[in-house]
Amino acid sequence: MKNIAVIGAGTMGNGIAHVFAQNNYKVNLIDISQVALEKGLANITKNLDRLIAKERITEDLKAQTLNNITSFTSINEGVKNTDLVVEAATENIELKLKIFKQLDEEAPANAILASNTSSISITKIAAVTNRPEKVIGMHFMNPVPIMKLVEIIRGYTTSNEVTETIMELSKNLNKVPVEVNDYPGFVANRILMPMLNEAIETLYNGVAGVYEIDTVMKLGMAHPMGPLQLADFIGLDVCLSILNVMYNGFKNPKYAPCPLLVNMVQAGKLGIKSGEGFYDYSQSRKATTIAKQFQ
């Protein structure tokens, strides 16, 4: 398994492409937007330069990594002759089902189809294909080049052979794969998102401000990043989407998104990606608290 296609050149997609290419896999990076592809490749280059500055890789490995990546704006062209396709499109069920229907038609019959979804049912995604036994979840963590974990999610009909193949492949990427079963939110987000949502509720109820909540969790619980800053980093729209998937999947009110989160997403305050969330990122990448407006 040496030929990989990655669908989506955004934050997760370019990170996944980076990791495969750096480990000497041939990668076809696919996005319908040429601008997104150029931005994704620029981000990969920037991240490689950071690794060089930290003396973790050489200039030769950077050049080899970039040479291993070819960009495409067509799924049809991009998935030809691939052994594995990893979908990393927006966390939207309708979009993912549409993509997997197309992948099933265009990718080689023996290719494994994986999704980087952080919450959506792999079984549901697999059901729109004629190869459900070859559909699996590969949930990488952000930032992909740094974070070790990959959640490997078995759908209801995912074969043992495919699961074992993807587990070994993840190890070849110097990642630590953890196999989990197919329930809304899997493990990582089933535990993480209620915590982030509760932090937002704490702010919404006026218990404390943004800086204070994050400081308590960083200093009191040894978290490297406070929950509100982490929500900004993930993307508030992504957090809302995952919470809605879990709320609809379990019908349990503990997963219902906080009204403040809903309003912020509707107002376009999505975190780092929009320049403002619980913190203001408009002047620099260093988060500046805007807690007063929430108190």
Residue 139 falls in the annotated catalytic set? yes
Query: From CA 113, how far away is CA 98, in angstroms rounded?
Result: 13
Of 87, 106, 151, 276, which one is the catalytic site residue?
Answer: 151
Residue 105 falls in the annotated catalytic set? no
List residues forming the annotated binding site for NAD(+). 8-13, 31, 91, 96, 118, 142, 273
- Write the CA distances from 115 to 93, 106, 134, 271, integer angstroms: 11, 16, 11, 24
The DSSP element (H or E) to which 152 belongs, if any, is strand 149-154
Of 3, 71, 116, 189, which one is the catalytic site residue?
Answer: 189
Of 28, 118, 119, 121, which one is the catalytic site residue?
Answer: 118
List residues forming the annotated binding site. 8-13, 31, 91, 96, 118, 142, 273
Residue 87 falls in the annotated catalytic set? no
The residues facing 86 across adjacent strands are: 6, 114
Q: Could you tell me if 66 and 44 are in contact, meaning their C-beta atoms sit under 8 angstroms apart?
A: yes
Query: From CA 118, how far away is CA 88, in angstroms rounded?
Result: 10
Query: From CA 214, how far away is CA 164, in angstroms rounded?
Result: 39
SS3 state at 118: coil
Residue 18 falls in the annotated catalytic set? no
Of 43, 87, 121, 139, which one is the catalytic site residue?
Answer: 139
Catalytic residues: 118, 139, 151, 189
